[in-house]
Structure 1
Amino acid sequence: MRMRATASWLAGAWWMAVALVAPAAAGAAVLKATLITPDDDPRLERSRVERAYLGHPGGPLSDGLEVALEETKFELEAAGAEVALASAPAATLEAARAAAVAAEKSGAAVLLTDLPAEWTLAVADAVKLPVLNLGDASDRLRQQDCRARVFHLIPSERMRSDALAQTLVSRKWSKLLLLVGGSPQDALRAATVQASIKRYGLQVVASKPFKLSADPRERDLANPLLLTAGNNYDAVWVVDSDGEFARMLPYRTVLPRPVVGDGGLVALAWHAQFERYGAPQVSRRFAKAAKRPMTAQDWAAWMAGKTLAAVAIAAPKGPNAAWAQAIGKSTLDGSKGTSLSFRAWDGQLRQPMLLTDGQGVIAQAPAEGVLHPRNVLDTLGADAPEKLCPIAR
């Protein structure tokens, strides 16, 4: 018997089947999952989405999940497996924690989150379920604040900075001018950038702060010509979590040099103009369903949907414990040219990175010639010997 997929999203509903595939054989358990997202997410405010900053979300991650579950419905049916996805918007950290507890009581086997780091930790600590992190790239979630049951589909900040550092090394752009924004998030990300620069033997010739301000006394802090004068460098690396300063920096530097980081050349999990390994078909299917280009965050959500399907197929009769164990053992196809898997030491999904200027994909990382004794994908992000996550999986 075949039952068509349903797609019903009503705000605040606990169990909304956005992809429900009828089992081919009677008695199959239903893998229930709940996506917890911020209510009234400021990242999706219309003016920000319209600016389309590289590396920022382009819309709700439910779009990518729906596309993945629609694509895998026939595989699920053939395996006698079933996936049901629910949504739970949360306005506060406490609400996110309560949503996780309620989902566990309602029979959820997996939680998916697109939440800030503190919220994600609160959700993970409130339940005994595996958590798939779709949207937070914070290294702390993979390092000192890691959790044994949390898996990360979105690349970490360290993976992004390592990808850029490898690209700079491959082009022999070794001397860098580092420009850093004034937010606490920028400070953390700049430390990650410095770790990647050290890892790949690059040199920072100068590090300067910038600040966008309406105060005329501070306008020099946002002047690209003043900020990029007085030093000799091969490239400018800009750390700008907000994105506004970084987008106006290319072609405005004193020296005619490339800009990388959060403007110019940016390392991402995905770009809609990636043209290899079946990626154009993935991007077209997403654009047809969501009516917008596929972003890196959408790809992470799409991979989460594929993970749910793979887990349901691997253990179509459940129980929850079998599904939880199957996540860490999953081998996935992300249309990036190689099999993807989760790292045992930090729960991060191994994956190639795409280097893009916003118009197309310029290069991929790991860069050609970069070597690793076990898996070259582990040259992106914290490697096992660094032992930054104290929890064994």
Structure 2
Amino acid sequence: MNFLVKSAALLAFGTMACAAQAEAILAVGYLKQAVVAPAVLSNLDPVPETLGVDGARLGQADNQSSGRFLGHSYVLDVSEVDPGGDLLAAARTLLATSPYLILDASADDILRVADLPEAQDALIFNASAQETRLRDAECRRNLFHTLPSAAMRADALMQVLMAKRFSRLALVAGEHPADRAFADALRRSAAKFGLKITGEREWRFDADMRRNASQEVPLFTQDLPEHDVLLIADETNDFGRYIAYNTWLPRPVAGSEGMVPVAWSRVVEQWGAAQLQSRFVKLAGRDMKNRDYAAWAAMRVLGEALTRTGSTDPAQLRAYILSPEFELAGFKGRPMSFRHWNGQLRQPIPLVTDRAVVMQAPVEGFLHQRSELDTLGIDLPESRCTAFKE
């Protein structure tokens, strides 16, 4: 008799578990706008076709690994729009099936999607655009950022330069809009931390630097005033590789080349990072890049929110994500959380070379009343974002 009772109980439990699994399904759309890459001097670093998408897929797998014990499952719907294609139509299609969307597009296209009527109650994650304006005056209530802003990267670099007592800086910037945006962030950050940019040059060469760098770069940098470090703003990976060891003055380079502030790098190995990287290599067959990390983090944010709340309602998940209780383990040594005033994910910024981590920001000694992570990027008192004010 007891055996029959136990069997019936186990059968009922199994039925309830299956029902729970059928109830908690979180679907996420991944929308990528393909672009024609600008011409660069070297093709040594091709952009992976699945850049970003592989990070989201790893995040889905990580969510699924823990979610199966709770009856949670995750669906990822990937859509790529050809250059010049109808991004808004693709966004509407994805939003019709899910209020959760990861975007890999330009800053202007991200704003266009966020402003769609169909997107007003959605949670959109920017995994590609570092422009600070998206976290500042042009922020949106439904837009969150898992990629560090240009301001965060620049502040991280300036903290390290201050720690190393490099106070005089020179700047070489490219002509691409992304180069100019990063150059602006570097100027702002230098002023913020009391460092001096003694001189600037704009890169306008169209010659083949693979043959001429040793002759052209010394002449190009000869007129720069005395400096300790040469900053490079070359976000398209065009000319920066030819600057190091060719400057008129023997100086280290940093910024887009040399010592680089990043969201992620294969050389980050502490805090379980090596295990994250190995899982990614197994999935994608290559190293994890910045956009991969940002897309992975977006998926994990949603997974963590569902795990803690048990809800797939976007309003409940948004409230939890912005609450003090939310934390994400990002394999960078500190719990990561969202800034409630602009939707930016707080996170440490590694400063890396091709082969090693130099330092990680925030650097010890840079204090903050809320979180040392808020010493990187737009802080609450200086924020012009009003969309997150309830």
Give the TM bin, normalised by the shorter chain: 0.7 to 0.9
Partners of 2:130 and 2:49 in 1: how far apart?
16
Aligned twin of 1:38: 33
Note the C-alpha offset of 1:241.
2.2
Q: TM-score, normalised by structure 1?
A: 0.86
Pick aligned residue for 2:126 from 133, 150, 162? 133
Aligned twin of 2:63: 72
Pick aligned residue for 1:302 from 291, 296, 321? 296
**In the alignment, is the contact (CA less than 8 A) between 1:23 and 1:79 conserved in 2?**
no
Is 1:354 matched up with 2:345? Answer: no
Partners of 1:28 and 1:215 in 2: how far apart?
59
Note the C-alpha offset of 1:92.
5.8
Specify whether residues 59 and 32 from structure 1 end up closer, same or farther in structure 2 by C-alpha distance, changes over 3 A only.
closer
Secondary structure at the aligned position of 2:226 is classed as coil
Larger Rg: 2
Partners of 1:66 and 1:252 in 2: how far apart?
41
Aligned twin of 2:6: none
Partners of 1:48 and 1:79 in 2: how far apart?
49
Is 1:111 matched up with 2:107? Answer: no
Is 1:242 matched up with 2:232? Answer: no
**In the alignment, is the contact (CA less than 8 A) between 2:366 and 2:372 conserved in 1?**
yes
Secondary structure at the aligned position of 1:72 is classed as helix
Pick aligned residue for 1:344 from 320, 340, 343? 340
Is 1:29 matched up with 2:29? Answer: no
Partners of 2:49 and 2:85 in 1: how far apart?
26
Partners of 2:147 and 2:364 in 1: how far apart?
23
Aligned twin of 1:121: 111
Alignment RMSD: 2.7
Partners of 2:208 and 2:312 in 1: how far apart?
60
**In the alignment, is the contact (CA less than 8 A) between 2:40 and 2:238 conserved in 1?**
no
Secondary structure at the aligned position of 1:42 is classed as coil
Aligned twin of 1:286: 280
Partners of 1:323 and 1:282 in 2: how far apart?
25
Pick aligned residue for 2:362 from 320, 344, 366? 366
How many residues in Structure 1 have an aligned counterpart in Structure 2? 365
Partners of 1:138 and 1:215 in 2: how far apart?
30
Q: For 1:146-185, list aligned pairs within 5 A.
A: 146-185=139-178
**In the alignment, is the contact (CA less than 8 A) between 1:163 and 1:267 conserved in 2?**
yes
Q: TM-score, normalised by structure 2?
A: 0.87
Is 1:95 matched up with 2:86? Answer: yes
Specify whether residues 247 and 48 from structure 1 end up closer, same or farther in structure 2 by C-alpha distance, changes over 3 A only.
closer
Partners of 1:186 and 1:315 in 2: how far apart?
41
**In the alignment, is the contact (CA less than 8 A) between 1:113 and 1:120 conserved in 2?**
yes
**In the alignment, is the contact (CA less than 8 A) between 2:267 and 2:352 conserved in 1?**
no
Q: Over residues 266-322 of structure 1, what are the superposed CA-to-partner deviations in whole Å (9 max), with x where a residue is unaligned? A: 000111111210001111110111000111211111111211211222333433432
Specify whether residues 81 and 239 from structure 1 end up closer, same or farther in structure 2 by C-alpha distance, changes over 3 A only.
same
Partners of 2:287 and 2:208 in 1: how far apart?
36
Q: Report the AA paired with residue 294 of structure 1.
A: M
Q: Report the AA paired with residue 305 of structure 2.
A: V
Partners of 2:217 and 2:172 in 1: how far apart?
10
Specify whether residues 243 and 306 from structure 1 end up closer, same or farther in structure 2 by C-alpha distance, changes over 3 A only.
same
Note the C-alpha offset of 1:80.
2.0
- Structure 2 unmatched runs, 5+: 1-9, 11-16
Secondary structure at the aligned position of 2:270 is classed as coil
Please identify, of 65-74 and 201-210, the stretch whose mean Cα deviation from structure 2 is larger. Answer: 65-74
Note the C-alpha offset of 1:209.
1.3
Partners of 2:81 and 2:287 in 1: how far apart?
26
Q: Over residues 17-55 of structure 1, what are the superposed CA-to-partner deviations in whole Å (9 max), with x where a residue is unaligned? A: xxxxx967255232121111014x435999977426xxx
Aligned twin of 1:193: 186
Partners of 1:215 and 1:139 in 2: how far apart?
33
Q: Report the AA paired with residue 151 of structure 2.
A: R
Specify whether residues 166 and 37 from structure 1 end up closer, same or farther in structure 2 by C-alpha distance, changes over 3 A only.
same
Partners of 2:352 and 2:92 in 1: how far apart?
40
**In the alignment, is the contact (CA less than 8 A) between 2:327 and 2:335 conserved in 1?**
yes
**In the alignment, is the contact (CA less than 8 A) between 2:125 and 2:144 conserved in 1?**
yes
**In the alignment, is the contact (CA less than 8 A) between 2:32 and 2:81 conserved in 1?**
yes
- Structure 1 unmatched runs, 5+: 2-21
Note the C-alpha offset of 1:359.
1.3
* Percentage of identical aligned residues: 32
